[in-house]
Amino acid sequence: MTHPSAYDRLRQRFERMATIHEASAMLGWDASAMMPAGGGQARGDQLAVLASLAHGLLIEPQVSDDLQEAEQGKPQLDVWQATNLKLMRQAHIRAVALPPDLVEAQARANSACEKIWRQARQTSDFALVRPALQEVVKLVREQAQALGEALSLAPHDALMDGFQPGIYSADVTPVFNAYKTYLKEALPRAEALQARRPAPVMPQGPFPTALQETLCRSLSQRAGLEADHSRLDRSTHPFCGGIPTDVRITTRYDEANFAKSLLGVMHETGHALYERGLPTAYARQPVGYAAGMAAHESQSLIIEMQACRSNAYLGWLGQELHSTFKGDAAPYQASNLGRLWRRIERGFIRVDADEMTYPAHVIMRFELEQALISGDLQVADLPAAWNEALHALLGITPPDDAHGVLQDIHWYDGLFGYFPSYTLGAMAAAQLMAAARRQVSGLDAALGQGDFGPLLGWLRTNVHEKGSLLGFNDLMRQATGQPLDAAYFEAHLDARYLADKMA
């Protein structure tokens, strides 16, 4: 009988761990979309136990021995296996840095805080969730310190590394500072130009939820998301979850404005398409996962912002909208939809922000959470700091905490280090779309027919099927010819918002 090699033993172990994480993902989706409020305590217990089981598998002494033995035999591995082994080592370093009781405590604290946040958000009462968030932040600081020591990184950088490996504060800060300078000059110009254009006309509702839901499903499937591998449900905060063969996306509906659900679903469809396109040969292995959250955000934003809001797609979509909702056809013309959905407005809510002001919301959160993790900012002072920071960047102050510090789920669920991925993803999406247009003839003509096939095919080959074989900048370099360059994003904004004719 042939005994499995050290690499094969590791592969089997990581497959088992991945299956546990998949179970957690489905329980997490259920908690947000289906679970009754009374199930929160039990669900927290379930998630904590699963997190502890997965962590336990990764820190067993056998793992260290197998890693050492497999690394000695590395010349026998192909490039995918060698990269997989490297990612296994990185995962092990992160895992052994964290005491099991801290992992379980975080899972419990995050679950409890997230449930309280839902009520606090509805009542705009930060004080209600403050004690739970203080516990979450205390544990995240412990996590960041432990990971930083193990990885030889600053604490906040160690958290960022968990979402977009290899991208740290020193990489992000100059990009964000440059964007602040760009925004200070570009935003007033865009607003002035917008004021000289005809005001957009809002389509007149109501728009029944059932019709919206049917249309959202149809558009998502037309973009390439298969019905037999996905679900569309409702939740307070839209998200994409589940697993690559069973992707769950959620949205929320407003019968006075169908755009919120429609564009939200297309955003989450971009995430789902990435998951569906990951290399099946390396499913449940580190190298088979997405290449980080900035890469993931680039895939949601290339669908929602680059494709769905393009002139070509809007021309086709307008006809679909009018066919669905009837009424006056004029508001569904591409020119009007463009003015409506590509409108610059200084707003309080990140998820509703336009492309130009959205990065300001991310930059603010990035800077605030750095201060929270370092201890320079305390949780009790967060609402005031939030309001001051938003006023400094956009000149507006939230009227209440629901429009301010309570609007996002991330911190209340223990997710620190995530926010930079949103804007890095937007910048990558612009760069990827420019490359796709150069390399794929007829891409915009296809979008003008509601056909995502050419774009999706290019993304499958250049992004999705690569998994985590490449780091973020190497992925960008192979797909576009150069690492991430924010100039593509600014050029996109210039063409869309600062030119005489909107692109």
Q: State the catalytic residues.
A: 268
Instruction: Show Cβ contacts of residue 363 under 8 Å, excluding neighbours closer than 6 positions.
Output: 176, 179, 180, 393, 423
Among 345, 360, 427, 352, residue whose Cα is nearest residue 392: 360
Q: Kindly tell me the burial class for residue 36, based on how many C-beta atoms sit within 10 Å of its own C-beta (0-12, 13-18, 19 or more).
A: exposed
| Residue 247 DSSP SS3 | strand
For residue 399, say if its preceding peptide bond is cis, omega within 30 degrees of 0: no
Question: In Å, what is the CA distance from 337 to each residue of 193, 238, 368, 423?
Answer: 17, 22, 35, 24
- For residues 127, 128, 133, 134, the Cα torsion angle rounded to the nearest 10 degrees is 60
Q: CA 353 to CA 301: how far, in whole Å? A: 13
CB 177 within 8 A of CB 423: no
Which amino acid appears at position 132 of this protein? A
User: Residue for token digits 């937007």?
Assistant: 426
Helix (H, G, I), strand (E, B) or coil at 407: coil
% helix, strand, coil for the chain, step of 5: 70, 5, 25
Query: E strands of 134-289, at which residues?
Result: 230-234, 240-243, 246-251
Most distant CA pair in the chain: distance in Å? 79
Residue recorded with tokens 């609007």: 407
Pairing of strands 246-251, 230-234: parallel
Angle at 279 between CA 215 and CA 262, to 5 degrees: 15
